């Protein structure tokens, strides 16, 4: 009997197979493959997701940081745009697997690391996401705290005012995440148009107050030669790529609900680079306008909003709260929550994983880390990019070059299936990861090879692709075209068995 059904490029489990696998220790209701009717995210859902996540204070500061390093406005915007066009490639490549087979990131990782080894890339992604969760909670806290002070001058005298705001905002983040990915989709559908309108309103104010775009964008580059520019350009470019490299790994968590490959490809391709490029231009233009209007460069949007009347400040507080909440829940909760529940699928749910993520985010004490925001952003992005680049490379090489998009879906949920490997770990992945991290690390240890570390994410990714593809050539776990046809009921074939999805 065939175990899986492929229709319009979407693969689901056959009814009896799904019922049998539901007893597996590797299966729970959050980690199982999506059913046919659950593939309902449209192009707009994906566009709204990226627009909502791009319109955030960290993205605003990322562009501003490049100006502070000496770039002019168009150099900074082009760096951001190029970085996001590059990171879009691994995002779309990994999204294909999530869309076609309906699997979340921790299950996808079983494919290339094994049923036990999958905890390595899943927890690596989870720890970074939990760190970002705490950081974004703190960014939102300081923004809201400052805006409350601007409205109510006695707020600073309230004992523990910052702690109060942090706990309330942290609780709101955890509550939304606790309700699951569907609540995240609904939040993004609402927040995207609101954030677009607010950003456009801020830009219109800046142009009007500064007397046009000319005075806003007149600051020249501080670099006297191409060499001086490149010294700043490459680390900045890697920072832009690393900014979304976490999402490049766990994008299957979202794309497993895609209505079609076209929906996720078009939605993401149109929204990510466009939203980041446009928002970066807005951030740079508005900041430049503050020099004309206020006599000083205000990189923090909160500092700008506090100069307005109380009604505008209150509206700004709402917008910043929604912005911080959207990116935090969308980008920094789903991956760690899935990774945590994957440790014990029969006992830990997504909701429990979300709560644990929130506690980890608080445990890193982001208020200490964020004392030096600029150095932290670039140091943090560059360092974890060196780790995630090779993992991204392994995932892409496995699905596209090694397996050529052919999977035995049911065996991802079997303890002794082909993707269990030996002892639950695919040691070829471990070797590729170690080499992928070691090669760019040479640039950190040897000054003459510093270009390797400056481009650690891409160097590690390419290295891992080459090593992993070579090690996995003709591996025993591969599914041949003939075998894939034998286990898959294709849409244009009549079926003698029920192909409905399990409805439990």
Cβ neighbour number for residue 314 with a 10 Å cutoff? 16
**Average of per-residue pLDDT across 405-426:** 94
- Name the packing angle between helices 119-151 and 373-396 (round to 10°): 150
| Rounded distance between C-alpha atoms, residue 429 and residue 439, angstroms | 16
pLDDT (0 to 100) of residue 21: 94
Secondary structure percentages of the chain, helix, strand, coil, to 5:
75, 5, 25
CB 277 within 8 A of CB 198: no
**Average of per-residue pLDDT across 231-240:** 84
**Beta-bridge partners for 5:** 12, 489
**Beta-bridge partners for 320:** none
Number of alpha carbons in the 13 Å side-chain half-sphere of residue 249: 38
The residue among 97, 192, 80, 110 whose CA lies nearest residue 415 is 110
Burial track 332-347 (b if 16+ CB lie within 10 A, e otherwise): bbbbbbbbbbbeebee
The contacts of residue 266 (CB under 8 Å, 6+ apart) are 43
Query: C-alpha dihedral over 24, 6, 50, 457, to 10 degrees?
Result: 70
The residue among 390, 432, 497 whose CA lies nearest residue 14 is 497
CB 381 within 8 A of CB 374: no
Integer Rg of the chain from CA: 23
Residue 497 has pLDDT above 50, yes or no: no
Tell me the percentage of the chain whose pLDDT exceeds 70: 91
- Assign 396 a pLDDT band (cuts: 50, 70, 90): very high
| Rounded distance between C-alpha atoms, residue 177 and residue 130, angstroms | 13
More confident residue, 495 or 75: 75
pLDDT (0 to 100) of residue 73: 82
**Tens-place pLDDT, residues 348-365:** 887 888 888 888 888 877
**Tens-place pLDDT, residues 300-332:** 777 788 788 878 888 887 887 887 787 777 778
CB 327 within 8 A of CB 57: no
CB 268 within 8 A of CB 72: no
| Rounded distance between C-alpha atoms, residue 42 and residue 264, angstroms | 7
What domains does the chain contain, in order, with CATH numbers? 39-386 (1.10.4160.10)
pLDDT, mean over the chain: 85
In the chain, the N- to C-terminal Cα span, in Å, equals 21
**Beta-bridge partners for 13:** 4
29-33 long-range Cβ contacts below 8 angstroms, 24+ apart: 30/104, 30/338, 30/341, 30/349, 30/350, 31/104, 31/106, 31/107, 31/338, 31/341, 31/342, 31/345, 32/413, 33/101, 33/102, 33/103, 33/107, 33/256, 33/409
**Tens-place pLDDT, residues 380-394:** 666 777 888 999 999
Q: What are the Cα distances from residue 21, in Å, to 14, 409, 478, 503? A: 11, 11, 21, 14
CB 115 within 8 A of CB 420: yes
Cβ neighbour number for residue 29 with a 10 Å cutoff? 10
Residue 499 has pLDDT above 60, yes or no: no
pLDDT (0 to 100) of residue 426: 97
Sort 442 into a burial class: Cβ within 10 Å, 0-12 / 13-18 / 19+.
middle
| Rounded distance between C-alpha atoms, residue 89 and residue 93, angstroms | 6
Number of alpha carbons in the 13 Å side-chain half-sphere of residue 162: 8
* DSSP SS3 for 7: strand
**Tens-place pLDDT, residues 67-92:** 777 888 888 889 999 999 999 999 99
């Amino acid at each position: 009997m065939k175990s899986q059904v492929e229709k319009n490029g979407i693969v689901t489990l056959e009814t009896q197979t799904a019922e049998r696998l539901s007893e597996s220790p590797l299966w729970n209701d959050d980690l199982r493959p999506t059913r046919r009717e659950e593939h309902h995210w449209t192009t707009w859902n994906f566009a709204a997701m990226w627009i909502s996540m791009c319109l955030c204070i960290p993205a605003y500061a990322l562009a501003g940081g490049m100006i502070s390093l000496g770039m002019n406005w168009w150099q900074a915007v082009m760096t951001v745009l190029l970085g996001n066009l590059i990171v879009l490639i691994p995002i779309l490549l990994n999204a294909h697997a999530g869309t076609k087979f309906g699997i979340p990131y921790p299950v996808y990782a079983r494919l290339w690391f094994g049923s036990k080894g999958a905890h390595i890339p899943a927890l690596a992604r989870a720890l970074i996401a939990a760190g970002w969760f705490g950081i974004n909670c703190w960014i939102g806290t300081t923004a809201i705290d400052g805006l409350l002070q601007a409205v109510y001058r006695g707020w600073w005298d309230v004992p523990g005012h910052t702690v109060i705001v942090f706990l309330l905002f942290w609780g709101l983040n955890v509550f939304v995440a606790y309700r699951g990915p569907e609540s995240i989709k609904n939040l993004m559908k609402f927040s995207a148009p609101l954030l677009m309108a607010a950003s456009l309103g801020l830009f219109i104010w800046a142009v009007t107050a500064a007397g046009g775009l000319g005075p806003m964008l007149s600051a020249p580059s501080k670099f006297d030669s191409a060499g001086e520019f490149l010294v700043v350009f490459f680390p900045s470019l890697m920072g832009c790529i690393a900014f979304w490299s976490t999402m490049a790994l766990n994008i299957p968590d979202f794309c497993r609900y895609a209505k079609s490959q076209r929906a996720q490809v078009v939605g993401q391709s149109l929204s990510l680079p466009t939203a980041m490029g446009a928002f970066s231009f807005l951030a740079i233009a508005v900041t430049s306008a503050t020099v004309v209007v206020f006599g000083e460069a205000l990189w923090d949007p909160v500092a700008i909003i506090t100069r307005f009347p109380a009604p505008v400040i209150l509206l700004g507080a709402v917008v910043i709260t929604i912005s911080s909440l959207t990116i935090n829940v969308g980008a920094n909760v789903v991956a760690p929550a899935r990774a945590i529940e994957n440790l014990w699928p029969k006992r830990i749910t997504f909701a429990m994983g979300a709560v644990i993520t929130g506690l980890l985010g608080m445990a890193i004490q982001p208020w200490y880390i964020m004392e030096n925001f600029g150095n932290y952003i670039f140091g943090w992005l560059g360092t974890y990019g060196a780790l995630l680049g090779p993992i991204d490379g392994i995932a892409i090489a496995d699905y596209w070059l090694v397996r050529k998009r052919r999977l035995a879906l049911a065996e991802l949920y079997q303890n002794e299936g082909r993707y269990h490997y030996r002892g639950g770990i695919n040691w070829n992945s471990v070797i590729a990861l170690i080499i992928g991290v070691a090669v760019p690390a040479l640039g950190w240890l040897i000054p003459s090879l510093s270009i390797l570390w400056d481009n650690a994410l891409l160097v590690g990714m390419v290295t891992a692709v080459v090593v992993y593809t070579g090690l996995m050539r003709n591996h025993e776990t591969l599914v041949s075209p003939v075998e894939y046809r034998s286990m898959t009921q294709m849409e244009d074939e009549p079926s003698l068995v029920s192909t409905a999805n399990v409805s439990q």
